[in-house]
Structure 1
Amino acid sequence: MTRAVLAIDLDAIAENWAALDARSAADVETAAVVKADGYGLGIGPVGRRLLRAGVRRFFVAQMAEGVALRAAIGDGPPIHVFAGYTGADRDDVENAALSPLLNSPEQIAAFSSDLKGRPCGLQIDSGMHRLGLAPEDDAAFRAALDRLDPDLVISHLACADTPEHPMNARQLETFARRTRGIPRARLSLAATGGILMGPEYHFGVTRPGVGLYGGLPFAGARGVVRLDLPVIQVRDVRRGDAVGYGATWTAPRPSRIATLSAGYADGLIRAIGGRVTLFAGDRPVPSVGRVSMDLMAADVTGIDPAPEFLTLIGPAQGVDGVAAAAGTIGYEILTGLGHRYERVYKGVD
């Protein structure tokens, strides 16, 4: 092996979707979020596999993602775009049959002028203060319900990964109050964390994202990715020898150091250096020194023969384990996995 291998289990993604779908009532539709290039794993193969699994509604962040997804999955399923609409998006909306989620009176006005009669949705701000129509925009919201006949009204929970946080209940109450009188089948509040908090958060459509890809807060998810890093050199170092930039690690004893062909250019962020564990089979191997652009190092002392590769993400450690070593979240690790890996898919159509 001379190139790092990122193995992506599309069947596991489908099984995670089915598991989250099973947590919802029969009259609740479970959609899928495939933004950020399918959370870094490929919007085309991920979208097609989810379509085969039964997904009939998708969400993306940006228009270009929607165009790419439409090309991959073909006509039919609605594709909602979180970022909404500007006049510059008109061709994408028409040609790829996208449904923008309008977030402001200005977006409502632009869409009404350009594309009235085409599918759209509305997003309201229930307390996160990020995207969505604020309470003071309620007149524009109500007018848009009548004038545009949107197919979906959504909001987004700020603290769903912390179920006991009081903001969840406040946002639920706000969303229910502001959408009172709108048919239930057109409402959506819950992503992965909201699904796990229970049916009162589910409304008509749920939209799992990170849980599909094996990430927290869905602790019961199947692992989706495996990342094996090739060992391109092994060398003996003496007690007191330094390894890597900045000489941040010195050998406490005579050691064998493996140099691995991957670095922060591949999404292995610098903060994991000297903190993350890799694995030779089921044997833990500590990383040492700083992660550089193309390389990182691990202490393989006592492993004979020296391993040909070490596993960073796999059965013994998922993306959230790597994230914990870096002081971040699994989302960042997952979506940052680079394009130099050899990508191997299981479960392709």
Structure 2
Amino acid sequence: MSLSPHALVHTRNIVANWRAIGALVPGSEAGAVVKANAYGHGAGPVVTALHAAGCRTFFVAYVEEGAELRSIVGGDATILAFNGAGPDDANIVRESAILPVINSIPALKDWLALPNMPDYAVHIDTGMNRLGVRMEDVGELAALTAHAPPGHIMSHLVDSDDRSQPINERQLARFTEAASHFPEAIKSFSNTGGCFMGRAYGFDVARPGIGLYGGGPPAPAGVTALLPGMTLEAPILTVQSVSAGETVGYGATYTLDQARTLATVALGYGDGFPRSATNSGYATLGGIKCPIVGRVSMDLITIDVSDAPDLAKPGQFAQFIGAAVPLEDQARRAGTVGYELVTGLGHRVRRIYD
């Protein structure tokens, strides 16, 4: 019996989510964002499953991530690296056929000056003010690239989690205008939230990310809820009855107002589970909610199992993310987002693939 936490990674759910999100933007190809080790789920198995299901465009952050994927997907998929590439990356870009996303006019000039310049993409900044060629520089971009135009043009939505935000439509209008300068380029605009806003945001290639893994904004009305990409479980080590007035964990941050049954499980911030879930997160046993009591420590969490006494046994696994513990609900209780929760899970959490 293992006494360490594990994540059951549901590649079939991830593929089902990819198909469901893609269906919301008919006429667009559904790509997949698999950066940061497929959001902590394991890039190798996830990309293998998506590729087998028909996905042919993958997005990562770094060219090195892209090179690792190339050995998995072979030559029949497009891989784009959001953070771009410098001249020193030209060899790996060529060898692994990565499309770096160029994010500024100076970076573009450096890239265009390369001998035997590899193909590339360009990011247009339509409102994020983070990466990308600014809207006022799109004319210069078009002039500079007239002899070697980008194969892809993309932008990124600022607040697609809130479909009512006016900035979504402003960005759509800006991207449509900028993209008109590059009629032959493949255009990509929508993340998961963008896909939820419908066909107008889809363009040529949609790029769902967190939604593939069951997180992100709620699906719109009439759309089946996304499935969990993983189930995070940790084993109970001990179960004990503790009297009223006693405190739990470091710093005595939780005091029992009555006698309770507590279980200590093998999971902590050393595994990437956030310390900020102290006295706010929860686990489940057989679907019964068991709140976290006391401080999350490096290797251990204590949960109140008083409502599940028959299930709370040493060796029994408690669920911390999954069908009974939605990713975004757990993240919200920890004061963070689903992205951070799943990408932060460390190597001590063994991944098991279905």
Q: Same fold by TM (over 0.5)?
A: yes
8 A contact 1:232–1:261 mirrored in 2: yes
Q: Which moved more, 1:244-253 or 1:108-117?
A: 108-117
Aligned to 1:56: 56
Residues 191 and 209, structure 1, Cα contact 8 Å, conserved in 2? yes
Question: Is the CA contact 2:268–2:299 (under 8 Å) kept in the aligned structure 1?
Answer: yes
What SS does the corresponding residue of 2:133 show, helix, strand or coil? Answer: coil
1:304 to 299, 310, 321: 310
**What does the per-residue CA deviation read over 1:131-155, in whole Å, with 9 as the maximum and x for residues that have no partner?**
1001332243103432322111001
Runs of 5+ in structure 2 lacking a partner? 220-224
Give the drift of 1:104: 0.8
Shift, 1:278, TM fit: 1.0
- The residue that corresponds to 1:290 in the other structure is 295
SS in 2 for 1:257: strand
Deviation at 1:227?
1.1
How do 1:56-95 residues align onto structure 2 when only pairs under 5 Å count?
56-95=56-95
Residue 226 of structure 2 corresponds to which residue in structure 1? Answer: 221
Q: Is the 8 A contact 2:151 2:184 kept in 1?
A: no
Match of 2:134 in 1: 134
* Corresponding residue SS for 1:148: coil
The alignment's C-alpha RMSD in Å is: 1.6
Unaligned regions of 5+ residues in structure 1, if any?
A: none
- Confirm or deny: 8 A CA contact 2:153 2:185 kept in the other structure: no
1:168-193 CA-partner distances (Å, limit 9, x unpaired): 11111111112224337611111111
Task: Give the drift of 1:286.
Answer: 1.4
Structure-2 residue corresponding to 1:168: 168
Rounded to whole Å, the distance in 2 between the matches of 1:253 and 1:107 is 63
The Cα shift of 1:117 comes to 4.3
Instruction: Quote the Cα distance in structure 2 between the aligned partners of 1:120 and 1:288.
Output: 51
User: Do 2:286 and 2:311's aligned partners in 1 also have CA atoms closer than 8 Å?
Assistant: no
1:103-118 correspondence runs (5 A): 103-114=103-114, 116-118=116-118
Q: What amino acid is aligned across from residue 24 of structure 1 in structure 2?
A: V
Q: Take 2:127 and 2:294, find their aligned partners in 1: how far apart are those partners?
A: 43
Q: Distance in 1 between matches of 2:67 and 2:342?
A: 22
- 1:177 equivalent to 2:177? Answer yes
Deviation (angstroms), 1:236: 2.6
Could you tell me which residue of structure 2 aligns to residue 334 of structure 1? 342
> What is residue 8 of structure 2 aligned with on the other side?
7
Deviations 1:67-115 (A, max 9, x none): 1111222222111111112122122212211000111112111211225
Aligned 8 A contact 1:192 1:207 in 2: yes
Please give the alpha-carbon distance, in whole angstroms, between the structure 2 residues aligned to 1:343 and 1:261.
15
1:305–1:315 Cα change, 3 Å: closer
Distance 2:229 2:23 in 1: 19
Q: Deviations over 1:301-340 (max 9, x none)?
A: 2503633221111221121111111122111111112211
CA contact (8 A) 1:185 1:204 kept: no
Corresponding residue SS for 1:288: coil
Contact 1:192 1:218 in 2 (8 A): no
Which residue identity is paired with 2:20?
A
SS at match of 2:66: helix
Q: Please, which moves more after superposition, 180-189 or 124-133?
A: 180-189
Preserved CA contact (<8 Å) 2:103 2:131: yes
Counterparts in 2 of 1:115 and 1:250: CA distance versus 1, 3 Å: farther
Q: CA deviation at 1:259?
A: 1.0
**Contact 2:62–2:82 at 8 Å: present in 1 too?**
yes
TM-score normalised to the size of structure 1? 0.94
Q: Aligned partners of 2:24, 2:184: CA distance in 1, in Å?
A: 18
- Deviation, 1:249, is 0.8
1:48 partner amino acid: T
Q: CA deviation at 1:3?
A: 1.2
CA contact under 8 A between 1:43 and 1:68: conserved in structure 2?
Answer: no
Is 1:252 the counterpart of 2:260 in the alignment? no
The one-letter amino acid paired with 2:266 is: S
Number of residues of Structure 1 aligned to a counterpart in Structure 2: 345
Q: SS at 1:146's partner residue?
A: coil
Q: Secondary structure at the match of 2:113?
A: helix
| Structure 1 range deviating more: 229-238 or 289-298 | 229-238
Does the C-alpha gap of structure 1 residues 324 and 253 become closer, same or farther in structure 2, counting only changes over 3 Å? same
Q: Distance in 2 between matches of 1:144 and 1:56?
A: 29
Superposed displacement of residue 294, structure 1: 0.8
Q: Does 1:242 align with 2:247?
A: yes
Secondary structure at the aligned position of 1:187 is classed as strand
Range moving further from structure 2, 70-79 or 280-289: 70-79
Matched with 1:153 is 153
Q: Which residue of 2 aligns with 1:212?
A: 212
Instruction: Return 195-204 or 140-149, whichever deviates more.
Output: 140-149
Change (3 A) 1:314 1:135: closer
